[in-house]
Amino acid sequence: MLVAGLLCSWLVMVEYPLAVHSIILTLLLLSTRENRGSIPALIPGIAVCAALFFWYNKTAYGNWFTLGYFHESWGEFQEGHRRGFVGLTHPSPSAIYEILFRPGMGLFFLSPFLLFAVPGFFSALRYKEWRLPALAAGSISVIGILVNASHFIPMGGMAPGPRHLVTILPYLVFLCSFFLRSRSATRIGIFSGLTAVSVLSHLLITVTDPQAPVGFDVPSCEYSLNHALHGIFRPPWLSSVSSLPAFACLILFAITALLLLFMAYSALRGGAGNRIPCTFLAGVIAAAVSLSAWWAACSYYSHKEVVKKKYFLAFSYRLTGRDELAEAGYKEVLRLHPKHALANFSLGKMAMDNMDLVSAKKYFLATVEVYPTLSEAQYNLANICMVDGEYEEAFQRYAISIDTERMGNTRQLARSYAGMASILASRGRPDEALMYFRKAEGLSPGDPFLNGAQEAIGKSRTAQEGRTGD
């Protein structure tokens, strides 16, 4: 118990967020009747780590009760740690997707065999002696994911995957073991195939460069595999194994294949040996599916790169006044990616410049379908709706453009308020219209565009006074 207390407390020394692990593991330790009487034995180990913790804080920061996160010197992280509690706010669904399922970098993409921790957890609950350890492992894993998804940089910076989730890997692997408890040949095959793919992806990353530069969508393919195919490895001796770069990459595949064979053979020795063909078939299919997903992600992001280059080429044509080439370029982008928001938006603006409001409306509607918070697109749609007499929709579009404006475009904001004022005035509500007009005038005084709203308010007030007089 002395060693257990020391190790559980040491977790916090290694990484502050592991305090949750420490608490859960200590409770698990005390859940057995024979350990409850040994609680005093935990205290010396905890005291040693606490003394080291406070001594370090006092020596490094001059304060017994502080954390290293409060003394960040790098500007970006300093700003990030001001959010919430040392950079932690609340779990974001998009962050959870990014750290777990993002193609190319998510935990289950790089290590697909870890998906079996979920069925493994429920299998473990069926065994009374393993129920509490499984609950502890599951709790630590879920809390670790939620804490990571609350961080201002969920992926952890320059890393091939979600590096903050490294601390939950042992617990996920522990839960995976219960998935194989049935000795099913198919389960063993699928698990072995996905494990082989997991080992391959991490092997590629480790022997090339674990810190791929920022900007790659699928670092394991775009960066690591590319390095391996060209014989560029972090350990110098591996680069000299062969003068043929591709041969060096084949070594990695050979190691992975041997691992798959060894795992399947070892598992089947326990009783499913008569179903070896079924096991290998399941393993090969699982590996093929996983590698196909990997390759699809690479192809998808490569496609995105082509689309991005074509968009910026068209954008450069637009900047230099070569509108015909720009229009053709944007249409080529839409041919490759029909829902490209910025290409649709750019074509909408060009159509408005040419007074082709029908085409402009079509392109802007396609823009906001994908990118509803693009304020200028909503504003342009509102103006087109005004021309078409669709005042209800125009009012809503102006309101959205105001709510989503983040670039400080005061003229657009003023004209949106003026448009809303005009609509309210036309409905015989001059007092409300005047409120919006004053907001517009405060943002952009002297703008001639506001004159129309002012005239509409005057006419509405005159009509209202006439009806009152009658």
Condensed to tens digits (0 to 9), the pLDDT of residues 58-95 reads 888 888 888 777 776 665 566 666 777 777 888 888 88
What's the CA gap between 40 and 2, in Å, rounded?
Answer: 9
**Range 462-466 contact pairs with CB under 8 angstroms and sequence separation of 24 or more:** 463/428, 464/428, 464/430
Structure tokens at 228: 């391996």
Q: Based on the number of CB atoms within 10 Å of its own CB, is 25 exposed (0-12), middle (13-18) or buried (19 or more)?
A: buried
Count of C-beta atoms within a 10 Å radius of residue 260: 24
The alpha helices in 209-268, defined as continuous H runs, are 226-229, 236-239, 245-268
Find out whether 29 and 8 touch, Cβ atoms under 8 Å: yes
What DSSP string runs through 7-51?
HHHHHHHH-GGGHHHHHHHHHHHTTSHHHHTTHHHHHHHHHHHHH
Does residue 12 register a pLDDT over 70?
yes
Helix (H) or strand (E) run with residue 269 in it: none
What percent of the chain clears pLDDT 70, i.e. is strictly above it?
73
| Domain containing residue 37 | 1-71
pLDDT at 242: 41
The pair of structure tokens assigned to 351 is: 């159509």
Evaluate whether residue 36 is within a structural domain. Answer: yes
Torsion of CA 361, 363, 364, 369, to 10 degrees: 120
pLDDT 10s digits, 153-210: 787 766 778 888 888 888 998 998 888 777 677 777 778 778 877 877 777 777 777 7
Question: Rounded CA gap, 57 and 113, in Å?
Answer: 40
**Residue 348: predicted pLDDT:** 94
pLDDT at residue 215, as a whole number: 55
Answer whether 452's CB lies under 8 Å from 444's CB.
Answer: no
pLDDT at 286: 64
Q: Count of CB atoms within 10 A of residue 251's CB? A: 15
Would you put residue 161 in left (φ > 0), alpha (ψ -120 to 50) or beta? beta
Q: What is the pLDDT of residue 246?
A: 43
Tell the burial category of 366 from Cβ atoms under 10 Å away from its Cβ (0-12, 13-18, 19+): buried
The lowest-confidence range among 307-311, 386-390, 428-432 is 307-311
Q: Which pLDDT does position 453 carry in this prediction?
A: 77
pLDDT digits (tens, 9 = 90+) for 324-350: 889 998 998 898 888 888 899 999 999
Quickly state the pLDDT bin for 356 (edges 50, 70, 90).
very high
> Average pLDDT, stretch 134-145?
92
Cα distance between residue 153 and residue 76, in whole Å: 11
d(CA 435, CA 445): 15
How many other β-carbons are positioned within 10 Å of the β-carbon of residue 22?
20
Residues 282 and 205 sit within 8 Å (Cβ to Cβ):
no
Q: What is the pLDDT of residue 351?
A: 94
Q: Which of 71, 101, 127 is the last residue of a domain?
A: 71
Segment among 120-124, 203-207, 355-359 with least mean pLDDT = 203-207
Domain boundary among 71, 94, 122: 71
pLDDT value of residue 366: 92
Burial code (b: 16+ CB inside 10 Å, e: under 16) for 114-125 equals bbbbbebbebbe
Query: How many C-beta atoms surround the C-beta of residue 96 within 10 A?
Result: 17
Q: Given a cut of 90, is residue 249 above it in pLDDT?
A: no
As given in the structure block, the two tokens for residue 192 are 């072995």
Handedness of CA 10, 15, 17, 18 (dihedral sign): negative
Asked if the structure places residue 190 within a domain, the reply is no
3-class secondary structure, 183 = coil
462: exposed, middle or buried (C-beta count within 10 Å: 0-12, 13-18, 19+)?
Answer: exposed
Residue 134 has a pLDDT of: 92
Confidence of residue 243 (pLDDT cuts 50, 70, 90): very low
CA distance 49 to 28: 20
Tokens 């009374």 found at: 128
* Residues 6 or more apart whose Cβ sits within 8 Å of residue 271: 183
What span, in angstroms and rounded, lies between the C-alpha atoms of 298 and 218? Answer: 6
Q: What pLDDT sits at residue 236?
A: 52
61: its two tokens? 């920061």
Gap between the Cα atoms of 299 and 221, Å rounded:
10
pLDDT on residue 347 = 95
Lowest-confidence range among 70-79, 156-165, 228-237, 251-260?
251-260
In this predicted structure, the answer to whether residue 233 has a pLDDT above a threshold of 80 is no
Output the pLDDT for position 413: 86
Q: How many domains does the chain have?
A: 2
227 domain-assigned: no
pTM: 0.56
Answer whether residue 211 is part of any domain: no
Q: Is position 453 within any domain? A: yes
Instruction: Examine residue 56 and state whether it is found in any structural domain, yes or no.
Output: yes
- Residue 437: the pLDDT is 85
Tokens of 433: 């219209």
Phi then psi dihedrals of residue 316, to 5 deg: -65, -35
Give the pLDDT confidence score for residue 52 in this predicted structure.
86
Burial class (CB in 10 A: 0-12, 13-18, 19+), 336: middle
Interior angle at CA 250, CA 248 and CA 252, nearest 5: 85
pLDDT of residue 379: 92
pLDDT confidence tier of residue 26, bands split at 50, 70 and 90: confident
- Cα dist from 104 to 101, 109, 399, whole Å: 9, 6, 39
392 found inside a domain: no
The token duo for 118 is: 């979920």
**403 within a domain of the structure (yes/no):** no
Higher pLDDT, 127 or 253: 127
Give the mean pLDDT of the chain. 78
- Domain end, chosen from 71, 89, 110, is at 71
